[in-house]
Structure 1
């Protein structure tokens, strides 16, 4: 089946992509015109750090940080807007993105969401204004993803009414801590709380690390992590605490408190539930990282597709003219399926941001009235955030590399941004949660149906609960039949029933894969639940866990894409998005065709039809590739790559027409 697409309007597509917080995106594009934010290359580490700090101060001056904080502390009480603003910063200097995320997202967010009024009154206004720079000290050299078992301790001393914060060994030092090596004055430190000789698990404490003159605080040792593969504008450091004493009030006590006599109280008696409630309040970080990675991916695609649309290579013997690189099918296949998945991830990101905004209590309410973990949709949101963060950051790494290769030697030049984007986003796959660990958590949550039966995440609890359950896919939970009908209404299938272009068939393939993988995983764990070595059984199923989680996230992206299409009026823009959605669905099926064939869902001829359909879609979308990337609204000052303008480079600060 051959089809053509009428020319779409990038402005209309941009309105769709900008979504609910379009005004925040427009303000970010205006801010990008400020020469202080022009992307630069070639600076040494100290120059990068100084420049990043200057830009951070400029953001504070412009009110960037206000959005995510209560109005009484100079904020704007707009959680969704704050994440959207962060996402837009991902199109520019990524060191600035990360440093801003540390200051206002992690450090400020921890005090906002884990502290109470006494901490808010003392710190928040200064955090928003940048009068107080801070760190988020969770990761340790010996314990990264395993936060529950960090070794740093905070032992209460009732004689002095203080906590004593201690780094018991080198492996317990706080590692890779942003803002620690140069600028941070205070850290939120995650440590094991000990009082009366009893261990109560991980809690968060406010610990000064520098005095007013910038010198290390007493009994605090600070080391510079030094040169990194990327993000060298961020001053990552290591922190050691040699029996550092802090007031009892420095415990961030929203979910637990210690009285002057050392007695411990908490509204959440179950230690595991309390731990995950505390971490759940920080889900904003994972959603933010996914958004930032998506923005960097969009910049890379904008550069590579603009270059590919102008670069010529080899002569066409039929015409004697040189062939435009983007006219080669191989080049299209490098970039256009990635572009389709980038759109799918963007629409999933819009839903995550809206979901977080809706499930986060009004920040202007008293702390006692804020209970985000009690919202019925909160746990599912956290699961989706973990999955989209993992798949989105891996997609960024793969796509930026593909863009670099698509630009040949020019893509290897620092001035063309791609090497910097590649280096700076590489770590996104392991911070705010290692991606492999996050996908395991996604699979475990899916198996339990978000049930409290699985509170301790052990194998036996999983197997007992899922033994008699019927697995429901994300597409079914999104209202599978209604979703399919809406897709039919918005974009009727272009071919007969059963064609690879038929939406019923595409959705059935996604649904069957997720359901089969989860059901077979549940049965596999059930059969092994009485094994002597529970870890060995679980470890042997790890590949199955990861595959099930990937299948789930694939469905999340498809559902989000369909929801977005539904909101677009009939016309060329909707038609283009439908073709892009088809490309996402079919390229995903193509990538998994081995699994589908093994499970009897894809014959050899059908597999070939999927490959041919991907080729056809690439050809149909190719004439509008620039329209699709222009719709991202990446400021020219953020593209900042000479190869993106082969004829002449416009003045910095504009927006692609």
Structure 2
């Protein structure tokens, strides 16, 4: 059963990378010292990043070896969420921007080599403090100086200050900065520019102003406010992506216009989404595995029975088995994204990846919160790792683009029919719903998606016919639009899960996994049971029976829960949570107390 479970999470090639990474992360640099100052904690993150890079011995950008990249991303997230941020910003977003928009250019070879060797650490600077999370409303300017054939990078006002790149630690840094290219006084759209922001000694480069911000308690990052005061940029540091600019100021761009150019620039965030999905799925799996193992060994003496493991109680099984199910779903989705082949860039793939990022982030929040709560007071302490992982999940509700914004953007393209057609009408009848098989799951999710799409598009047509402004029209339909994107994301996830279940050859294993995943589906249905009832997809008896269905599934999953937790393929030596040990009391107290014999009266 174990091999069939882990095959849902990782391809066979993962094992060889995991073996090397297990050795790398066993180094004392990954020990978790207490009482570090904020600056010392951030400095440790970059020592770990450099150690990891040195041990990997890269000959080319890690982004070119996707199998290895995603294994590194997983291990970094499990060992240190702050390190995970540094890894994906350096290896994914910075290198991704250079590859996507400056790929194949020999005049950038020295920049790439410096980043591969980590003589300088990469950062991506897009969002600005006065524009929320909008990457399209950038106001930083790169003004072309035709006389010197250079660009002058400047921050026009306080609202255009870059925020919140993690660059306040004094180490050599090279940033990829988004700015409006201004040539001959005309805004030519958003482009990326390679900008050294800290020199070899870690000091800010001329004209670069870096104002450190205090790290958050849950996720210590060296965030900063960064502005540019007429910083000179060599012409070759323009990531021009096929655009041309002559000394006379003549500009051409294969994108066609500034708006299309801006949209193309934003596609680089997909590298962050892929890394986020992988890292968030990893911490979901770890948190679920730790909490389920701990619940089997944590003893309680309740009023109904003495000296039982807490997992015997249904009020522990429901949240923890639900977390276990969510962790498997997240892992299955991550495997579908972290493919060895580079996916084609299209409107559909960008929308799909963005919505899967939102989904896996929410699953990670669900799992880590439940794991922390189920462990009682022990779950609140740092060594349990639940808070570390919860901090990472919380941060990604806005990191790598805001989740709500991505839901609304996704709904906009779904409503417009951009590389999309709603699911066909195949709502299952009562007899099929009673069986609640995977085809019923996908049919119910598809019916919800189809009906929400019809409702949204009809509402938009009516508003357009009535002459409603675009702002008022979408303000009135925002909640419905978010629901449509969430429903579409659920359909995508269930399609992936269903295919994964069909790939399992062992009947007994498939049955257990189907029960486990059914818990996830029931939670999703229960969250909208009133909608399903109102639209005739469930009847009152079915809605009333949802809690009983959950209890029945918990009863069937319970005998296999530990094996399912082990099947999540979590390297517990890297996670380092003492409460996951069978003798967690000894793991927590060893060396801190002297045991005295109990005196009998």
> With structure 1 as the length reference, what TM-score do the two structures score?
0.84
Structure 2 distance, partners of 1:98, 1:56, is 10
Moved more, 579-588 or 613-622: 579-588
Contact 1:301–1:400, Cα closer than 8 Å, also in 2: yes
Aligned 1:472-551 pairs, distance under 5 A: 472-473=422-423, 497-530=432-465, 531-551=467-487
Contact 1:440–1:546, Cα closer than 8 Å, also in 2: yes
Match of 1:647? 583
Aligned 1:87-126 pairs, distance under 5 A: 87-116=74-103, 117-126=105-114
1:632 aligned onto 2:578: no
Structure 1 distance, partners of 2:110, 2:545, is 64
Match of 2:592? none
- Write out per-residue CA displacement over residues 297-322 of structure 1, whole angstroms, 9 at most, x where no aligned residue: 222112211111111223464xx532
Distance 1:181 1:408, change over 3 A: same
Q: Secondary structure at the match of 2:218?
A: coil
Match of 1:363? none
Equivalent residue for 1:582, pick from 518, 524, 531: 518
Structure 1 distance, partners of 2:399, 2:261, is 22
Equivalent residue for 2:299, pick from 312, 317, 342: 312
Q: Secondary structure at the match of 2:200?
A: coil
Structure 2 distance, partners of 1:25, 1:553, is 30
Distance 1:110 1:179, change over 3 A: same
Distance 1:423 1:351, change over 3 A: closer
Distance 1:231 1:76, change over 3 A: closer
Moved more, 253-262 or 429-438: 253-262
Structure 2 distance, partners of 1:159, 1:337, is 64
Match of 1:15? 7
Equivalent residue for 2:338, pick from 345, 353, 356: 353
Distance 1:419 1:351, change over 3 A: closer
Contact 1:153–1:166, Cα closer than 8 Å, also in 2: yes
Equivalent residue for 1:226, pick from 186, 195, 214: 214
Distance 1:273 1:90, change over 3 A: same
Structure 2: 5+ residue stretches without partners: 589-601
- Write out per-residue CA displacement over residues 484-540 of structure 1, whole angstroms, 9 at most, x where no aligned residue: 9xxxxxxxxxx9634152444333211110100011101110111142422011111
Structure 1: 5+ residue stretches without partners: 1-8, 360-371, 452-469, 485-494, 652-657
Aligned 1:274-313 pairs, distance under 5 A: 274-313=261-300
Aligned 1:244-259 pairs, distance under 5 A: 244-259=231-246
Match of 2:191? 203
Aligned residues: 584
Contact 1:21–1:81, Cα closer than 8 Å, also in 2: no
Contact 1:138–1:147, Cα closer than 8 Å, also in 2: yes
Match of 1:239? 226
1:398 aligned onto 2:366: yes
Cα displacement (A) at 1:75: 5.6
Structure 2 distance, partners of 1:438, 1:126, is 34
Structure 1 distance, partners of 2:330, 2:63, is 27
Distance 1:255 1:166, change over 3 A: same
Equivalent residue for 1:557, pick from 493, 496, 509: 493
Cα displacement (A) at 1:421: 2.2
Structure 1 distance, partners of 2:446, 2:33, is 45
1:330 aligned onto 2:315: yes
Cα displacement (A) at 1:545: 0.5
Moved more, 91-100 or 222-231: 222-231
Match of 1:61? 54
Moved more, 159-168 or 9-18: 9-18
Q: Secondary structure at the match of 1:174?
A: coil
Structure 1 distance, partners of 2:61, 2:463, is 55
Structure 1 distance, partners of 2:75, 2:454, is 39
Cα displacement (A) at 1:292: 0.8
Alignment root-mean-square deviation, CA? 2.6
Contact 1:302–1:639, Cα closer than 8 Å, also in 2: no
Whose relative contact order is higher, 1 or 2, with alpha carbons under 8 Å and at least 6 apart?
Answer: 1
Distance 1:472 1:168, change over 3 A: same
Match of 1:438? 406
Q: Secondary structure at the match of 2:225?
A: strand
Q: Secondary structure at the match of 1:175?
A: coil
Equivalent residue for 1:612, pick from 530, 536, 548: 548
Distance 1:290 1:40, change over 3 A: farther
Cα displacement (A) at 1:11: 3.4
Structure 2 distance, partners of 1:569, 1:239, is 54
1:412 aligned onto 2:380: yes
Structure 1 distance, partners of 2:407, 2:149, is 42
